[in-house]
Amino acid sequence: MEFSPLQKARYAYKPKLPGMLRNGIKEICVKEGEATNSVADQEKIKALFPNTYGKKEITFEKGKNNALDKKQVVGVILSGGQAPGGHNVICGLYDALKATNKDNVLYGFKGGPSGLVEDKYQILDDETINLYRNTGGFDIIGSGRTKLETEEQFKVAAEVCKKHGITAIVIIGGDDSNTNAAVLAEYFQAHNTGVSVIGCPKTIDGDLKNEDIECSFGFDTATKTYSELIGNIERDCNSAKKYWHFIKVMGRSASHVALECALETQPNICLISEEVAAKKMSLSQIANTIADSVCKRAENGMNFGVAIIPEGVVEFVPEFSRLIAEINELLAGEKAKEFNGLKSWNDKYAYIERGLSKDSMNVFKILPQTIQQQLFLERDPHGNVQVSLIESEKLFSALVGNILAERKKKGEYKGKYSALHHFFGYEGRCAFPSNFDSDYCYSLGYNAFMLIQYGFNGYLSKISNLSKPAEEWVAGGMPITKMMNIERRHGEDKPVIRKALVELDGAPFKYFAKNRDKWAVETCYTFPGAIQYFGPSEVCDLTTRTLALEKGIK
């Protein structure tokens, strides 16, 4: 197998652990904290998790390890979309497991949670593990989106664990995956299987965070990767001086990625979905805000600019959400066949016009035809519009173009407007992890084994104090139920981990809001460049702007 020079260098990188985990596993003890409650719906969550609810938060500190000394056979699962650093979680878990007892075994279940119920696995050894240290992707065992949520699945999972003598399962995933981990942990506890379940917080979207989880892994690397690309585009934009670049970035439910990229690169425009929802902004209001920046810059001879668009922003526009709901109703059941049987777009348009309310039709009319047609093409398994497929970057550039054409007719705009479009998503999910994510993920995995050794079940591996050097990081665990509330999913009340949206009264957004008017008119671009692995610590180990601002670091 051929390796690039960077691969070889990253294989050799030694991730940094929190200070208390560097003492040697025999010198680590548990300090118990307060008992916990769920973030909301306490009685309902407690009733659903009678065996794992209300447990105490814990931290690890220097002291005699008094955990029961027994052979551990651990299974690990990668769940959901990829995020940089996943391999290092497995490497940290493996190293801690082998450092404790060389006879301990690590099973890697293939293809996500389905690997557990289908009993598809490989036993991970030194040779395999060493090929994936500090590398991006989830290809060591693959990932999947199968949910573990039925009694039958839990029963099969318990049988597979019993067959292999597995004592613990580590699930590396986002909010849904860790919700599944909590439910599986409850089942294993209720049925006295002797198998514990530990979760690790992963998602590049950054929406798995709270007072305990300061940052989900992968967010640092993904936003640095996108910011490098955006900075490159800004440099090109400022060189050619003739294009407006509309850049969509991942983040359907929250705008953490867009906000972090804006803090890193200082574009002319960055939409924040949570602000759009809070202000009940219409598509026209948003487009006019962007058009105002285009006009003001044109007055200064700058017919170019950069706008960052969160992937899911249209879902936060109230009038667009109503339109989507009406379209879903319009094509419910057999009516979809009737619509799809119409030959021409004109016939389909007339059908749509008859079926939508006047207000929703007014919104529909202002959409570019390509976007109109996207709304009626691919549907999800429930027959609903797949909003994530809407090319919102093209939607807003077209709406801005229409507004500028009207302003030009009135003599209010004399500039030139030419738009280019980009979507940065998959480019960031499997990048070589930054030093931060390499260290953080390795620590999460190492720490997960400590939780297993001490017999904790239904806990999330937790590393905090992340804005400080790794030496000062704090390792511990928190019950997953602490993060849960009840939400309506597919017509049923379900216990789920609450997603963290951008806080409009938080320091990162306030900093952005304070500076965006200047950025909208002036060219204030910053160019973060590629992720730095080698060099001064203040460059290579730099945290995200989001986390720095949240912790009061300027």
**pLDDT score at 323:** 93
Encoded tokens for 285 = 């209001």
- Residue 338, C-beta contacts closer than 8 angstroms, at least 6 positions apart: none
Calculate the CA 173 to chain-centre distance: 10
Q: For residue 373, count other CB atoms closer than 10 A to its CB.
A: 13
Burial of 75 (0-12, 13-18, 19+ CB in 10 A): buried
For residue 83, give Cα distances in angstroms to 428, 530, 549: 8, 18, 23
Q: Does 99 share its domain with 230?
A: no
For the chain, first and last CA: distance in Å? 45
Q: Is 499 exposed, middle or buried (0-12, 13-18, 19+ CB in 10 A)?
A: middle
Antiparallel, parallel or unpaired: β 28-35 and 56-62 = antiparallel
The two counts, helices (H) then strands (E), for the chain are 22, 15
pLDDT at res. 382? 59
User: Is residue 205 situated within a structural domain?
Assistant: yes
CB 468, CB 19: distance < 8 Å: no
C-alpha torsion sign, points 338, 343, 344, 350: negative
pLDDT digits (tens, 9 = 90+) for 490-545: 678 899 999 999 999 999 999 999 999 999 999 999 999 999 999 888 889 888 99
Residue with tokens 């790794």: 470
In a domain, residue 10? The reply is no
491 belongs to a structural domain: no
The answer on 328 and 242 residing in a single domain is yes
Q: Domain for residue 499, yes or no? A: no
CATH code (residue 237): 3.40.50.460
The pTM (predicted TM-score) of the whole model is: 0.94
331 located within any domain: yes
pLDDT of residue 231: 98
Q: State how far the Cα of 160 lies from the Cα of 165, in Å rounded to an integer.
A: 9
354 and 411 inside one domain: yes
Q: Do residues 184 and 176 lie in contact, with contact meaning Cβ atoms separated by under 8 Å?
A: no
Same structural domain, 535 and 465 = no
DSSP track, 293-361:
HHHHHHHTT---EEEEEETTGGGGSHHHHHHHHHHHHHT-TTHHHHHHT--SHHHHHHHHHHHS-HHHH
Q: Distance between CA atoms of 181 and 269, rounded to whole angstroms?
A: 39
Query: 510 and 533: one domain?
Result: yes
Q: Which secondary-structure segment (H or E) carries 547? A: helix 545-550
Active site residue 175: no
Q: Which helix (H) or strand (E) holds 59?
A: strand 56-62
Q: Tell me: do 109 and 241 sit in the same domain.
A: no
Q: Do 232 and 369 sit in the same domain of this protein?
A: yes
Question: pLDDT value at position 480?
Answer: 97
CATH of residue 77: 3.40.50.450
Residue 379: its pLDDT value, please? 67
Same domain, 159 and 286: no
Domain count, the chain: 2
Q: How many CB atoms lie within 10 A of CB 60?
A: 23
Three-state secondary structure call for residue 201: strand
Cα–Cα distance, 228 to 249 (Å, whole number): 13
As a whole number of angstroms, the distance between CA 33 and CA 35 comes to 7
Q: Are 366 and 400 in contact (CB under 8 A)?
A: no
Extended beta strands in 156-268, E state: 168-173, 196-201, 244-249
In terms of residue numbers, what domain contains 79? 17-24+69-218+433-481
Residue 272: CB partners within 8 Å, gap ≥ 6? 255, 258, 259, 310, 502, 504, 509, 512
Asked whether residue 271 falls in the same domain as residue 403, the answer is yes
Cα(519)–Cα(159) distance, integer angstroms: 59
Same domain, 147 and 98: yes
Same-domain status, 149 and 280: no
**pLDDT of 521:** 98
CB of 219 closer than 8 Å to CB of 525: no
Residue of 205, 207, 220, 437 marked catalytic: 205
Pairing mode of beta strands 105-109, 73-78 = parallel
55, part of any domain: no
Joined tokens for residue 163: 């067959």
Shortest CA distance to 142 belongs to which of 122, 127, 165? 122
Does a structural domain hold residue 291? yes
Tens digit of pLDDT per residue, the chain (554 long)?
A: 688 999 999 999 999 999 989 888 888 999 999 999 999 999 999 999 999 999 999 999 999 888 878 899 999 999 999 999 999 999 999 999 999 999 999 999 999 999 999 999 999 999 999 999 999 999 999 999 998 889 999 999 999 999 999 999 999 999 999 999 999 999 999 999 999 999 999 999 999 998 899 999 999 999 999 999 999 999 999 999 999 999 999 988 899 999 999 999 999 999 999 999 999 999 999 999 999 999 999 999 999 999 999 998 998 999 999 998 899 889 888 888 899 899 899 999 999 999 999 999 999 999 999 899 888 876 666 566 777 778 999 999 999 999 999 999 999 999 999 999 999 999 999 999 999 999 999 999 999 999 999 999 999 999 999 999 999 999 999 999 999 999 887 678 899 999 999 999 999 999 999 999 999 999 999 999 999 999 888 889 888 999 999 999 87
Phi, psi at 252, each rounded to 5°: -75, -40
> What gap in Å lies between CA 107 and CA 219, rounded to an integer?
27
Smallest CA-to-CA distance from 215 within 546, 549, 554 is with 546
Q: In terms of C-beta density within 10 A (0-12 exposed, 13-18 middle, 19 or more buried), how is residue 549 classed? A: buried
On whether both 298 and 359 belong to a single domain, the answer is yes
